[in-house]
Amino acid sequence: MTGSKRVFIKSYGCQMNVYDAERMGEALAAEGYQATDTMEDADLILLNTCHIREKAAEKVYSELGRIRQLKDARAGAGSSLSVGVAGCVAQAEGEEIVRRAPTVDFVVGPQAYHRLPDLVRRAAVRPGAVDIDFPTEDKFDALPSRTKPGVISRGPTAFLTVQEGCDKFCAFCVVPYTRGAEVSRPVEAIVREARELAAAGVREVTLLGQNVNAYHGEGPDGRTWDLARLLYRLAEIEGLARLRYTTSHPLDMTDSLIDAHRDLDALMPYLHLPVQAGSDRILAAMNRRHEADAYVRLIERIRAARPDIALSGDFIVGFPGESDADFEDTMRLVETVGYASAYSFKYSTRPGTPAAGRGDQVPEAVKSERLQRLQALLNTQADAFNRSMVGRRFDVLLERAGRKPGQLTGRSPYLQPVHVDAAAGAIGDLVEVAVTEVAGHSLFAEPIGKREPADRRLAAGGVA
């Protein structure tokens, strides 16, 4: 390719999709495509889709309708525009997307995007190509180095996928059907990618997986490593100051992982550990395979190991068969645990999942009322947690320019946005601050001395 072509990637949904979009961009950049933030400027438009929420596919078709107008206008002006659909809707819908939306030139599933450059070339000759196979080869080995010149510019934070797929088969979830069975990447491959990121200036890495704490990858010693052992290894890499991981399942929160939270300064004191409901009856119907009390006792063990840890969770209200009493159990669990932040949703049917065919669906008005009550409680807890930060001292990783001139914005160890005066440091620096004010979900702070510059990572050659 000539290098003059531009690609626009629109990504929906979870952090895994953000990572996938970045890797797709890197694969296309290696073929000469340049990224653009404007759809109208693109020669290739790629929709990286999510299938978790209700009517996800219809939203994609609606977006494709708007893109068709742009493609028709481009054709009328004598130029071309290629359109692709990737991600979980692509995996679920497959050739149906091409049938319903002829403007689409190709469809690629989340396990096949390493073949994206070849698919783009094939579609240019014969539109309608579909690749949603689950290949036997490791797609990550086929992708370009993350430090290849010109591939992508980086900020100080990055996602890194270590595990994909899920074997839990929760009754409401499509992930096992769109992402496949649990697969863990080898330790050495993950360490190599983390080193590349550190060499490119990344200081914080978030490990991703649909069920990340079930990680069980092959180690360099030939044995199976769990997530805790992987975290200890990544903490040794020069330049990586912070580690996070998401999303977890309570069943896979092992003693060794709890110990890692106790032992590793680099592992941030923030844990996203979804429970979904507080009723044992509903948890059983969801096929969560744990009870509410077991979850609460797990939280107690985690907090005993790391007292300053902040908890985040996911909740679904209105799951089929949920009674008023079941919902009150959820409210009690939230009150017992106390969350720094949380995501809550009304149950929505996902075609093909066990819960979709149940006849005891909860009326929409009831779901809405329950969600409102739950979110009010969660917001109260989040506000209280944020207010408790005033007067606290901790390091902030400066990530970007703030919304106001002369301001930089970073993240606290607990993922809150923190705004400081730009004189505090440079993007990529770790700066110790004291929190002075809370406004909404954001913190305002003043630097109090210690600063670890971004270029300190180069002191030992950039990697370990």
On average, the pLDDT of the chain sits at 89
From residue 314, alpha-carbon distances to 17, 165, 173, 234 in Å are 18, 18, 13, 27
Q: Is the pLDDT of residue 2 over 70?
A: no
Share of the chain above pLDDT 90, in %: 65
Other C-beta atoms within 10 Å of 112: how many? 20
pLDDT tens for 444-457 read: 999 997 778 876 54
pLDDT tens for 368-421 read: 999 999 999 999 999 999 999 999 999 999 999 998 999 999 999 999 999 999
pLDDT tens for 34-72 read: 999 999 999 999 998 887 666 667 788 889 999 999 999
pLDDT tens for 346-360 read: 998 887 889 988 999
| Amino acid 178: pLDDT | 78
Identify the band that residue 152 occupies on the pLDDT scale cut at 50, 70 and 90.
very low
Identify the band that residue 458 occupies on the pLDDT scale cut at 50, 70 and 90.
very low
Name the range with the highest mean pLDDT among 73-82, 249-258, 354-363.
249-258
> What token pair was written down for 200?
């490119």
Please indicate, yes or no, whether the overall pTM of this predicted structure exceeds 0.85: no
| Amino acid 459: pLDDT | 35
Q: What is the CA radius of gyration of the chain?
A: 23
